Amino acid sequence: MNIKFEYNKDLTSLNTFRISAKAAIYAEYKNMDELRSITLSEEFMDNEVFYLGGGSNVLFNGDYHGLVIKSQIKGIKKYQKNEETVFAIAGAAENWADFVKWTIDEGLGGLENLSGIPGSVGASPVQNIGAYGVEVGSMIHKVECFDVITKETVTFTAEQCKFGYRDSFFKNEGKGRYVVLRVSFKLKNSTVAENLDYGPLKTLEEKWNRKPTISEVAEEVLKIRDSKLPDPSKIGSAGSFFKNPVVRIYFYREVMSALSPEIPYYETDDPLYVKIPAGWLIENAGLKGYSVGDAEVYPKQCLVIANKGRATAKDVIEVSEHVRKVVLEKFGVTLHPEVNIVDTNIKVTILGSGTSKGVPEVGCFCPVCRSDSAKDKRTRCSALVETKGLKLLIDVSPDFRQQALRSEITYLDAALITHSHYDHVGGFDDLRPFCTGSKFPVYMRKDVSEDLHRRLDYCFRETPYPGVPSFEVHEIDESPFIIKGVKIIPISVMHGKLPIAGYRIGDFAYVTDAKTIPEEEKEKLKDLDVLVLNGLRFKEHFAHFTVEEALKTIEELKPKRAYLTHFCHEIGRHDDFQSSLPDNVFACYDGLVINTH
């Protein structure tokens, strides 16, 4: 089957932000057979892939250096199960607002509160879209998907979709593997509206002295949206840019209320947590109308960042970062984007480049430890990876507090741990600022988790002391996993006799404390743009690569660029050491920033 691939495709008209961006390669499919053909192509296998829906919840941060695939699967059907229940099945490429209107015209109740939301049907289960007191996950019966690995169709029940607040299986474990083809919704064969718990909708029954119809609720929702949200035909946006933060009730009462007693909240299904309206926080932080270039916090609804004309992705991101910083300073809570930031670029900051003793070593008076050069002041190893709007920490060294202050780290999305040696986890308690609202996600091998549960038991008790750091532990093996849309590939290496984890993210990989790398794991390190690898010293060590061994490994793996890290003072002064390295190999130092994609 011949598939038409377009090159250097302009995506400006395919995203509601109307932000200028191009895709290196672009393709569309009208059925599963065409999608299967795309996934068998070299264009698919040799490139990073992004599946584009209606473009209503994405921000392209620059050109996409990969393959963008867009569904054109259409069609709507309904099946009467009984007098009360009807299943409505829609193709992934159907316009969501049009589909909701169709259900209302057909007299099917359930989706009326979600009227007017831009985007496609296929994106609805991925994002678990919601508005005015309703989340679509509560109406979804099944989701039919294409498995890009087995090349077969798979059907997921609502339970298997693991719906959460603006979250689902398809944004996490299933991302990149399962492509939504069609969605089946379980609706009521009734025109009487039932979901009236949200704000302005509560008064409709009292005002009219009867239950409103689904059509009337839809009209009311559209009026509310029109009064608050920018006209998409005139002003670009992606709707709500931030999620409403969900925080522990203790944190709300003891911290947030102390900062500002009037902060509103909503109860959640978990009595230990409450939801805070992000729009209220942004507006009351004095950010209404704040702008950078043509990107603006929309005055009528502060959850929205609008493109007033010629905004760039950089403008939008600068506005969002400022909003996050100010809200954190004023209310003590971190906002997280609801918008999917599409970015093939990766920024890596080497927070620490020293071995277990650091440099200078305590009590040492060698020329390196007495050096005045900032590049010879090495804290224990750690790195910050920024991509697709996320900030991921690799290891939490005993010097993390110092590193975070120096690099002005105000929020993190998750931490990846290589192993449990103290010089890589000694700063765990300093993650407290990122655990205030909810449990902080950490990813680690099972043996590392067991070790930290013993050593830091106070962090993992069922009823912890208030204020201690609280973690959401994800135990990993050698299989790839997803963090908020970012694919992470663990690399199993040997630290002497101890198996530990390195990590690959896109064309970047970070491996520290390795002495040997199994051949099958080396395959995961091929075709890299950037490799960060440990090179302890020149003299032999039983558990670490020497510089010579590291250089031989780099020569074998052939990354475009390589950076050596985890140095002791025996490596010598940075500038002298750098001058001895090959042209494509560089010596890390604390604060070094590496950009790649």
Active-site residue list: 166, 240, 338
Q: Which residue has the tokens 């201690």?
A: 468
The rounded distance, in Å, linking the Cα atoms of 420 and 444 is 9
Contact 532, 588 (CB under 8 A): yes
Contact 279, 243 (CB under 8 A): no
In DSSP notation, 29-45 reads ESSHHHHHHHHTSHHHH
The rounded distance, in Å, linking the Cα atoms of 503 and 416 is 8
In DSSP notation, 504-553 reads EETTEEEE-S-SB--HHHHGGGSS-SEEEEE---SS--SSS--HHHHHHH
Contact 424, 396 (CB under 8 A): yes
Residue 211 is which amino acid?
K
The rounded distance, in Å, linking the Cα atoms of 461 and 18 is 48
SS3 406: helix
The rounded distance, in Å, linking the Cα atoms of 24 and 2 is 19
Which strand (E) or helix (H) includes residue 205?
Answer: helix 204-208
Sequence-separated (6 or more) residues with CB below 8 Å from residue 568: 354, 355, 357, 359, 361, 536, 537
The rounded distance, in Å, linking the Cα atoms of 581 and 300 is 57
Contact 391, 411 (CB under 8 A): yes
Contact 87, 187 (CB under 8 A): yes
**β-strand pairing of 140-147 with 178-188:** antiparallel
**β-strand pairing of 64-71 with 22-29:** parallel
Residue 490 is which amino acid?
P
Residue among 236, 244, 234, 226 nearest 295 (CA): 236
In 281-431, DSSP assigns E strands to: 291-292, 295-297, 304-307, 340-342, 346-352, 382-387, 390-394, 414-416
